[in-house]
Amino acid sequence: MQIFSDKCSCCCCSNSQLGCTLYGNGIVLGYGIGIVLGYGIGIVLSYGNGIVLGYGNKIVLSYGNGIILSYGIGIVLSYGNGVILSYGKGVVLSYGNGVVLSYGNGVILGYGIGIVLNYGNGVILSYGNGIVLGYGIGIILGYGNGIVLGYGNKIVLSYGNGIILGYGNGIWTLSLSLFHDLCSFDVCTSLTLGASCAYPQQILYYTTKK
């Protein structure tokens, strides 16, 4: 089955192993191992291992292992292991292990083990073990073991064992079950004012900086 054969540099066949390049508005479907390049407004779907590059306003869906690069406004969905780089405004959803880099305003949802880097205003949700770095104004939610670093005005919520560093105005919430044996007044006050050791298995504290 050919799709936009007059605009593709190669045939977009259901069994294509080379991928397809689209230079106009439309849809690119890649079912084989290779590279899918989309330079127009439309939708890019990749179901095979390889690389997906999107340079326009579009939706990029990747269900295979590989790398996704999105330089336009839109939505990026990745269900495979690999790397996602998003330099435009929009939404990035990652359900696989790997690295998610977002340099634009929008929302990042990371459900895999790896690293999430957000340099724009928006929301970061991390449900996997790893590192979350937020340099923009927004909300960071970390539910996995690892490290959360926040360098902007935001709310940081961490429900996993690890370290949280907050350098902006907002609310910091930390839950460390690692310290359940050390829960005491001295330990709590050494962390932050208003600390609470009401729960024997964790330290939960809130602090607001202005």
pLDDT band at 191; cut points 50, 70, 90: very low
What mean pLDDT is predicted for residues 33-44?
A: 61
% of the chain residues with pLDDT over 70: 0
What mean pLDDT is predicted for residues 32-47?
A: 61
Rounded to an integer, what distance in angstroms lies between the CA atom of residue 59 and that of residue 144? 28
Contact 83, 98 (CB under 8 A): yes
Rounded to an integer, what distance in angstroms lies between the CA atom of residue 188 and that of residue 185? 5
User: pLDDT tens for residues 130-173?
Assistant: 666 666 666 666 666 666 666 555 566 655 555 565 555 555 54
The whole-number pLDDT of residue 83 equals 67
**Which of residues 37 and 172 earns the better pLDDT score?**
37
Q: What is the dihedral of CA 189, 192, 193, 199, to 10 degrees?
A: -70
- Report the range of poorest mean pLDDT among 63-67, 82-86, 173-177: 173-177
For the chain, domain boundaries: 81-209
Rounded to an integer, what distance in angstroms lies between the CA atom of residue 84 and that of residue 67? 6
User: What's the maximum distance between 2 C-alpha atoms anywhere in the chain?
Assistant: 72
